[in-house]
Amino acid sequence: MLSIHDSGPRLCDGLTRREWLRIGGLSALGLSLPRLLSARTPAHSASFGKAKSCIVLFLLGGPPQHETWDPKPDAPAEIRGEFKPIATNVPGIQVGELMPQTARLMDKIAALRAVSTDDNAHSSSGYWMLTGVPHQPTNSENAKPGAPNDLPCVGALVQRLRADKNGLPAAVTLPEHIWNTGNLVWPGQDGGLLGRSADPWLLTCDPSAADFQVPGLSLPGEVSPGRFQDRRSLLDQVNERLDAVDKSGAIARFDNRSKQAFDLLRAGKARQAFNLDKEPLAVRDRYGKNRFGQSVLLARRLVEAGVSLVQVNWTRTKEDDNNSPAWDNHQKNGFRCKNVLMPPMDQAYSALLDDLDQRGLLGETLVVWAGEFGRTPKHNPAGGRDHWGHVFSAALAGGGIRGGQVYGASDSIGGRPRDGRVQPQDITATVFHCLGYAPDTEVHDTLGRPLPISRGAPIRQVLG
């Protein structure tokens, strides 16, 4: 990040002469004066730092804007699809008819109808959404992690900015990484340049399983409490020797993760956060007895226990095939939305907002609903919608967000932004703003180089 330190006289608008020079330089990098000024203003608003935690619901494959937040009832049939819009509890705002439970909570939600990456590839557009920085180059499918696309994800930045709490890490991802066909893991899901110690803690699990246990959070039957303490003592001795001979990142990662695993095993309170059996059956049923629903419930328990950011990924299920996996509906878009995707999403998302609200936690928990892009305005011959990064929808609710509104608009067919265009870096800036960090807050990579946590500006129009 380019920064010039100056304590000299300020101009009439509060900017120093050197800041004006900085503005001129940044404009060449795509940051205009209005964007820079808008990035300065929200830090003084009541929404700054209002969220103690954040839950990100990331829907792999690209949820269709037409069937969710941006229905187009007046468009031709091949564009509007087979579903109609329904009224929400906010007069004048409609959503797709497959979101009836979400519709009654619209007063708590700010929908973004003009998000855009202009990137039609899952992994590269996804990288941008997860890190707030465009992939190099864009429109690169099956992109792999690594330089030059090794910037940290939002969870990794939170992991670096905030300390672990109550024996739990600052950032958790579940129930698995996001991947393309062939188990090709997307870039932008780890610590990247910050090093492995900044990786969000990945829980590969199925919380809906009858025998659900988080791997590594229970002692094997043959290990008594006494033997457990002996093993912890042995680990400490080994780490002392390792520290004396090797200061590499791999050793640091081993040390941090091993100690964290032992701490979780010892800390009853932290361990209890993963025990979904503590929830009443009615609550578990409300979220939905499926992997996504129970993962969302687990996310609520984790933020309640002190985790700062939990990302819940909707990834492929065992029933998905490669033609239309997860939300990637290249075929039978209407059928999959109606019978496979929308009901469990609507159920879990609305349950989360309801549950947080009833517990008095919604005002301090930011909830982000997003995917890597949207879907084409026009259906293809197979009845599907294809990749579309030119305009799509996302939604924000909870801590720091003023609900009951729509920001931005797409054109008449939901194909391009008409006004209020938002890019991924603006969403990340909004997340950090609500968590109490200005976009130009810096962290340092493994070589000591400064990195700004966001290159965007908080979306002032949706802040409370």
Residues contacting 439, CB < 8 A, separation 6+? 39, 429, 432, 433, 452, 453, 454, 455, 456, 457, 458
Residue 28 pLDDT greater than 90, yes or no: no
pLDDT tens, residue by residue, 137-181: 999 999 999 999 999 999 999 999 999 988 899 999 999 999 999
pLDDT at 268: 65
> Which whole number is the average pLDDT over 373-391?
98
pLDDT at 213: 83
Please tell me the least confidently modeled range out of 161-165, 171-175, 248-252, 380-384: 248-252
Report the chain's terminal Cα–Cα distance, integer Å.
29
What's the one-letter identity of residue 63? P
Q: How far is CA 340 from the centre of its chain?
A: 22
- Distance (Å) of CA 283 to CA 214, 274, 307, 402: 20, 15, 21, 27
Bond preceding residue 187 cis, omega within 30 of 0: no
pLDDT tens, residue by residue, 265-289: 555 667 899 999 999 999 999 999 9
| Cβ atoms of 100 and 92 closer than 8 Å | no
Q: pLDDT band for position 443 (50/70/90)?
A: very high
Q: pLDDT band for position 230 (50/70/90)?
A: low
> Which whole number is the average pLDDT over 190-214?
94
| Cβ atoms of 151 and 446 closer than 8 Å | no
Give dist(CA 325, CA 336) in Å, integer.
Answer: 10
Q: Residue 202: exposed, middle, or buried by beta-carbon count in 10 A (0-12, 13-18, 19+)?
A: middle
pLDDT at 167: 86
Q: pLDDT band for position 14 (50/70/90)?
A: very low
Give dist(CA 98, CA 105) in Å, integer.
Answer: 14
> According to the per-residue pLDDT averaged within each range, which of 93-102, 214-223, 250-259 is highest?
93-102
Residue 5 pLDDT greater than 80, yes or no: no
What's the one-letter identity of residue 214? V
Sign of CA dihedral 438, 108, 206, 268: positive
- Residue pointed to by tokens 């099956």: 142
Residue 27 pLDDT greater than 60, yes or no: no
Q: Residue 138: exposed, middle, or buried by beta-carbon count in 10 A (0-12, 13-18, 19+)?
A: middle
> Which whole number is the average pLDDT over 401-410?
98
pLDDT tens, residue by residue, 308-366: 999 999 999 999 999 999 999 999 999 999 999 999 999 999 999 999 999 999 999 99
pLDDT tens, residue by residue, 99-128: 999 999 999 999 999 999 999 999 999 999
Q: Of all residues in the chain, what percent carry a pLDDT higher than 70?
A: 79
